């Protein structure tokens, strides 16, 4: 897990070592950290359960410290930053130790920053035109968001025919009952979700329960 990482889109410069955000596990936990002190035990529980790629969303003030702590103290984790919206957040997340970046959508300004970051990234899409625009820029791996609201497995299945080169990590409204339907699609590499991190378990710091739910998710 300590190998150098490459952008998931075609980089502007430099080599492209083989790494895909979609590869480590069928599920990427989407984590909202309110207290940075919870980051390390939470990440250890997820990794022990078989989910090494962990997306920490930049929705709370604790997120940068959480990324920094996981990167430093959980060797088996591949920690990334989610809800990346600006070039400044790209720079800050990578400086904190993020090894991949995820955004809910994509603009030209953000894409330029993502490609210059030196780490893999999943820009968000929800329409065929958005997928086509990223394919034109050499990006093949994307986040499909918000998955359930944007059409779910049926919509992604319909994209596989005309746009087979695009691969997705659908996120948004996905749970253990619906994840298998997404994962069965040829253009889906993994799904993102937070069902293995129920609020009551995190509040109680019940990391054994988180590990058990992570193990169930990793088996999908």
Return the pLDDT at 4: 34
Q: Name the packing angle between helices 39-48 and 63-73 (round to 10°).
A: 50
Confidence of residue 12 (pLDDT cuts 50, 70, 90): very low
Return the pLDDT at 13: 32
Query: Which candidate in 55, 88, 136, 216 is catalytic?
Result: 55
Q: Which residue has the higher pLDDT, 42 or 17?
A: 42
| Distance, CA of 211 to chain centre | 19
Return the pLDDT at 22: 87
Contact (CB, 8 A) for 62 and 37: no
> Of 18-22, 42-46, 91-95, which range is least confident?
18-22
Return the pLDDT at 179: 98
The 8-class DSSP code of residue 2 comes to -
Q: For a pLDDT cut of 70, what percent of the chain falls above it? A: 91
Contact (CB, 8 A) for 127 and 105: no
Query: Which candidate in 34, 73, 136, 143 is catalytic?
Result: 143
Annotation marks residue 157 as catalytic? no
């Amino acid at each position: 897990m300590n190998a150098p990482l490459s952008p998931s889109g075609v980089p502007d410069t430099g080599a492209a070592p083989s790494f895909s955000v979609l590869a480590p596990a069928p599920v990427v936990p989407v984590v909202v950290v309110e207290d940075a002190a919870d980051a390390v035990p939470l990440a250890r529980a997820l990794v022990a359960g078989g989910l090494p790629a962990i997306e920490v969303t930049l929705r709370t003030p604790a997120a940068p410290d959480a990324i920094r702590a996981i990167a430093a103290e959980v060797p088996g984790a591949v920690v990334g930053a989610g809800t990346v919206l600006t070039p400044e957040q790209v720079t800050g997340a990578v400086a904190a130790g993020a090894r991949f970046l995820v955004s809910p959508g994509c603009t030209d300004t953000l894409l330029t920053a993502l490609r210059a970051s030196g780490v893999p990234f999943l820009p968000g899409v929800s329409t065929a035109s958005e997928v086509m625009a990223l394919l034109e820029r050499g990006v093949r791996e994307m986040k499909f968001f918000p998955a359930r609201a944007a059409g779910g497995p049926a919509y992604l299945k319909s994209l596989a025919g005309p746009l087979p080169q695009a691969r997705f990590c659908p996120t948004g409204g996905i749970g253990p009952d619906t994840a298998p339907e997404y994962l069965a699609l040829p253009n889906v590499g993994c799904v993102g979700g937070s069902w293995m991190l129920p609020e009551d378990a995190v509040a109680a710091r019940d990391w054994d329960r988180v590990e058990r739910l992570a193990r169930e998710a990793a088996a999908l």
